[in-house]
Amino acid sequence: MIPAQRQKYNQQFTQEKYKNFMLELEKGYPEIPFRVAETPVFVTKALKEKLIAAGEEIINLIKQPNFKELTQKSIPADWNVPNENEQPHFLTFDFGICKNEAGKLTPMLIEMQGFPSLYGFQIHLSNTFRKCFEIDHSTNHFLNGFDEEQYIKLFKEVIIGKHQPHEVALMDVDAPNQKTAIDFFVTQKMLGIKILALEDIKQVGKQLFYEEDGQQIQLKRIYNRLIFDEVAGNSDIFKDSFDPREELDIEWVTHPNWFYRISKYTMPFLNSEFVPETRFLDQVESVPADLENYVLKPLFSFAGMGVIIDVTEADINKIPDPENWILQRKVNYEPAVQSPDGGVKAEIRMMYLWPDGGEPQLCINLARLSRGKMIGVRYNADFDWVGGTVGFMEE
C-alpha cells in the first residue's frame, strides 16, 4: 500500500529468508499451527488516519451511558456471568481494506470484539520481521505514540492490575494446546503470569486456587481466553474445575459478558461510512432485491463459522431464530497488497487496551492476508502470501 516500501520488500524477499524468519519466530516456542504470511502490510498515513477515525466512532458508541441497556439481549441467559464490571479491558476492530467510490483505499468494519487478541505475539512478530527483513523505520507497528517499553507497562497494568504476577493466570480450556498458544507463551514471558488450563484451577468456597510445588496458591485475577461460544452446550467441562457463572471471588480480564456485548450484535447500532449496512434478521421487513450483495451471519459464532456468503431467500426462510442473525451488506475487499504473483486482500485489526478506571488506548495492530472467499487463516491454508501478519504504518 506504500508503493516504495512494497517494492523494496518484494525485491529483497526470498523463500530462504522466509524460512529463516519462521525459524526465528518459533525459536524457544512450540511450532505455530496457523499460517504466518510472508509479508507485513505497509499502511499509508492516509489509510491509518481513516482506521483511527473509524475506531473512534465505534468507541463513542461503546462509551454511551445506555450501551449496556442496548446490548443486554446479546448475552445468552445460560452464559451470563455475575459481577460484570463497567468496561471491557480490550477492544479489537477488524476492518477489510476496500476502495470507496472515489477509488481511494478505505476501511470497512467486518467484526468487533470486547475480547483479547494476540496482544503478546504481535510484538514478537513485528520484532522478528524487523530482524529478518529490512523494514523502513519510517513505519511503525505501534500506534498512538507507544513504544515497546510503554506498551508492556500498560499491558501489565491491564492484565495484572494491583496484584502480584503469581496471583494472575491466563486461562483457557486446554491452554498449552490452543492454536494461539504462541501468544500465551509470549505473554507469559513478557508479564511473568501463569498459564493454566481450566482443569488446573480448583474452587474452594468462592475462591479459586492452583497448585504449585505442593502449595495451594489463590488466584485473584484471570486473564480470560476461554470463548464460551466454543464450549456452549458442554457444561461438563466445568465439573472438575469451577463454573464461571457462579458467584466467585475473582477479577476477570476481561469479564466474559463483554465478548457478547461488543460483537456482531453491536454492528446494527452503528451508522458510519466505515460500517456496512447491518440489520438484525428479525427486523428485516422485506428481503433485499439484490440479495447477492449481502451476507448472513450468526451472532454467536467464532472465527467465521456458520457464515453464509452466497445467501438465498431459502437460506433466510430456514433460519429458526432470526433474532440471533444479522443480514449485512457484503464488503468487497480490494486486493491491495502486491505479492510476486498478483494482489492479495487484507484485513487490519486495530487493538486497544483499556485499563481499569482509564480510557481505551489504541496500541498495536494485527493484519491478515487472504486469497480465499474468507479472510481467516483456516480458509487460506492452501495459498501462499496469506495468513496472519502485522501492519507497519506510516508515521
Q: Is residue 388 part of a domain?
A: yes
CA distances from 140 to 18, 89, 204, 387 (A): 20, 23, 47, 20
Domain that holds residue 134: 3-147+258-276+331-394
Which residues have a Cβ under 8 Å from the Cβ of 77 and sit 6 or more positions away?
none
Instruction: For residue 333, give the DSSP letter.
Output: B
pLDDT for residue 374: 57
Q: Is residue 325 part of a domain?
A: no
The Cα 237–Cα 174 span in angstroms is 11
Give the residue-averaged pLDDT of 173-189: 94
The Cα 268–Cα 109 span in angstroms is 12
Give the residue-averaged pLDDT of 228-232: 72
Cβ-contact 262, 38 below 8 angstroms: no
With a cut of 70, say whether residue 27 has pLDDT above it.
yes
User: Is 247 in a helix, a strand, or coil?
Assistant: coil
Q: What is the pLDDT of residues 247-262, one digit of tens each?
A: 999 999 999 999 999 9
Q: Is residue 345 part of a domain?
A: yes
Structural domains in the chain (count): 1
With a cut of 90, say whether residue 203 has pLDDT above it.
yes
Average pLDDT, the chain: 93
The residue behind cell 466505515 is: 274
With a cut of 80, say whether residue 358 has pLDDT above it.
yes
Percent pLDDT > 70 in the chain is 96
pLDDT for residue 288: 94
With a cut of 90, say whether residue 386 has pLDDT above it.
yes
pLDDT band for 304, please (50, 70, 90 cuts).
low
Q: What is the pLDDT of residues 128-162, one digit of tens each?
A: 999 999 999 999 999 999 999 999 999 999 999 99
Q: Is the dihedral of CA 169, 175, 180, 181 positive or negative?
A: positive
Among 291, 186, 280, 180, which residue's Cα sits nearest to residue 230? 180
Question: Of 302 and 55, which is predicted with more confidence?
Answer: 55
Q: Is residue 153 part of a domain?
A: no
The Cα 77–Cα 311 span in angstroms is 29
With a cut of 80, say whether residue 24 has pLDDT above it.
yes
